[in-house]
Chain A
Amino acid sequence: MALTYETRVAWQNRMLLVPALVLLACFILIPAGAAIYISFTNEALSGLAAAHPQLVGLKNYVRLFSDDGFWNSLVVTAFFVFGSSIVGQFVLGLASAMALSRPIAFRPVFNAAILLPNAVPEVVAGFIWISMLAGGKYSTVSRIVALVGIPPQNWLGSLPLLMIIVVNTWRGIAFAMILMTSGLSAVPTEVYEAARMDGATPHQIFWRITLPLLRPTIFLYMLVSTAGTIAIFGLIYTLTRGGPGGATEIIGIYIYNQSFTAYQLGYGSAVAVIMLGVSVAIGTVYVRVLKVQV
């Protein structure tokens, strides 16, 4: 029986999806499924549980909810994401995009200066900032603030969370700026002209035209940036390894510490599964609140 043209095309289209589905299955779905399974076991990197892991039911999840370290890492993650992604990167990225959309002198230089941190690998960026922040009176930042009479600080010791927020903001402005620039360029200039002719102030134009029309872009940025910031590891591991005393132990570091420092793969997987749920929930909230179709 010969297939109709439409059926053949439909099958061809499905076949085109196969490579992507295979990759998704190999690198996302199967590992995620394995992590969910491991979270119900006592699997470990060493000891008897490494040779003979056993199913322990919900024990890892029960333990997790009474684990102060887990709750601490959730709080730290929330502050870190809010401070660096939602406030720092977004506000500065939007401001940079708006400033650089105007014909100002040395625009390419400013563009490059903002883009460069994003081109630096996470670990290299971490080491650069260690030299800036660590070493007390010998650190670069301490030397700079000494010029205005501020005494030297152990920046990563006394203000650890603020410092990692600053570093991550520095590194992520470029991504926000690129997205916002593309969003701004999609706003028709006629809308601004009409608003000006109607006597709208710059303040009104920003709040009533620019921001509402940027909503899809902001949504996309928030979704991608929040998920990306929750998953950050290398930058924080290089800078503080989650210390001092858990003050910068964001969830990615906490999962690593449980799985590879304490060797408890089962428990680490349980934390990872919970975080998967939290990330999905945050994504859903963004979609609902901003009322944007995905």
Chain B
Amino acid sequence: MKSTVLRAGLGLAIMVAAISGAVVSSCTSAQTIRVAEHRQARIDALNKSIPSIEKQLGITIEVVEYPAPEKDYMSKLLTELGAGNAPDLFTANFDSDVSDLVSAGYLAPITAEVKAWDGYAQLFDVAKKLSTRANGEIYALDSMLGVEQIYFRRDLLDKAGISTAQPTSWKDLLDRAREIKKKTGKYGLLLPAGISWGGGAFNEGFALFVPGSKTPQIANDDGTLNLNGEGVRDILGLYRSLIDEDLMPIEPLLGPEPWVIPKYTMFPAGDLIATTCGTWCYIYDWGKDSKNPVPDVIKNVGTWAVPGMAGGSSVTVSGRNIWAVNAKSAHLVLAKKVLLALSSVNATVAYAQLLGNIPARKDAADNKEFQALTELVPVLKNVENGTFLKSAPGFSVVSEGVARATEALLRKQTDAVGAQAILVKYVKDLLGDKVVK
């Protein structure tokens, strides 16, 4: 009996000591902020910035590595956000994701902190507009920008005697692709498409042609979406022409990682002459330190702004490192401070060096490390000339609908009218009839 009481007493003492130790330890050690990141280049860029941020804020940052493909990253992140156990800080892939993350209640508002931040005045206006929702609140900060247009093999076009002048309309662009096919036998233009490409089918392909179409914006101020318009049908018609005339590669786009063969193999090899892409193509995809370099990439790969349907042209600017704070974070104040620190010049330049996106800050131009990125310097200067799509709640559904519509085109199951009907039906099924105009 006596020994039983002794054992119980000893056990209790050990338990109390352990709990006290844990409490003391948590009080004295630095607080930990968990940051979600994916893809090795991005993780490397993040890790470059962490030591100075930890020192500056007196905290510990734990990088939580997520699956590399954008869609897998988003699926896992959304599942954890829904379950309430996601990291304190994370990035959204595209602006089209942010509106729906806000609607879901996953993001903490950061308006006051961002506007009081000394970096706010340095943000390009386009970054401020992209970051601000229709109600004037900021929930996610577009600290890096993707500047997207058409990249083409200047060396191969010169060699084949094909004009490298800016195409003036969609017809001109199509004619150029036809000429490429006729004279070189190579694919003339790739537009990301299909379900496997995920958000890229909308954000890196379809969306680039929206400003120059008869439907220059999809989102209306009243929350409705312009999907029944002629502009949407015309863009899908452009896809249809490229597919039907065998001007763009189809088979790789139906595979599991559709960007790999066209962008990493065919373009460097000269089997694909032009593709939509962002500045990351100059660094991450085909830069001198990439896995698939195009020799002397600045000289041999030129860019065209995306022509409008009947004239004019546009360069699309969109968010790339769109940092947001988990609304359920136990360290909201600290997480917001880390978000702002990750939007500093040094942090954004680290991402620019490894990925090729553009810092959303004017003062990045004065940074010596950025100045060494000669591919990106002229783009930064012209960021404000870019155009952008307004996003709205339901855009992740539109993005998936575009993927399904373009998949049907890739599989030659329908024409532009049918593809538009697939998009409209999908969006109506999920968001209701009244949302679509």
Contacts and interface: CB of A to CB of B under 8 A. Distances in A.
Given A156-B255, A262-B400, A263-B396, A46 B101 contact: yes
B196 A243 contact: yes
B156 interface: no
A239 B255 CA distance: 10
Nearest to B430: A264
Contacts of B198: 261
Interface in A53-71: 63
B255 A157 contact: yes
Interface string B399-427: 01000000100110000000000000000
Contacts of B411: 245-246
B137 interface: no
Q: Is the interface of B mostly helix, strand, loop or mixed?
A: helix
A260 interface: yes
B430 A48 contact: no
Contact of B396 (A42, A47, A246, A257): A47
A22 B403 CA distance: 43
A240 interface: yes
Contacts of A17: none
Nearest to A156: B255
Interface stretch (B74-82, B277-285, B373-381): B74-82
A69 to B, nearest CB: 8
A261 B255 CA distance: 15
B242 to A, nearest CB: 17
A70 to B, nearest CB: 13
B324 to A, nearest CB: 13
A171 interface: no
A264 B394 CA distance: 12
B396 A46 contact: yes
B255 A240 contact: yes
B136 interface: no
B377 to A, nearest CB: 36
Interface residues of A, number: 26
Contact of B82 (A50, A63, A243): A50
B125 interface: no
Contacts of A44: 104, 430
B430 A51 contact: no
Interface in B99-140: 100-101, 103-106
Given A245-B411, A261-B71, A47 B196 contact: no
Nearest to A249: B195
A44 B194 CA distance: 22
A63 B429 contact: yes
Contacts of A49: 430
B393 interface: yes
Given A46-B97, A47-B393, A157-B251, A243 B256 contact: yes
B218 to A, nearest CB: 16
Nearest to A238: B256
A237 to B, nearest CB: 9
B254 A48 contact: no
A154 B249 CA distance: 14
Interface in A211-240: 239-240
Interface of B: 71, 75, 78-79, 82, 97, 100-101, 103-106, 194-196, 198, 251, 254-256, 393-394, 396-397, 400, 407, 410-411, 429-430
Given A50-B106, A260-B75, A261-B198, 18 more contacts: A44-B104, A45-B75, A45-B78, A46-B100, A47-B100, A47-B103, A48-B393, A49-B430, A51-B104, A156-B255, A157-B254, A239-B256, A243-B254, A243-B255, A244-B254, A245-B407, A261-B71, A263-B400
Interface of A: 42, 44-51, 63, 154, 156-157, 239-241, 243-246, 257, 260-264
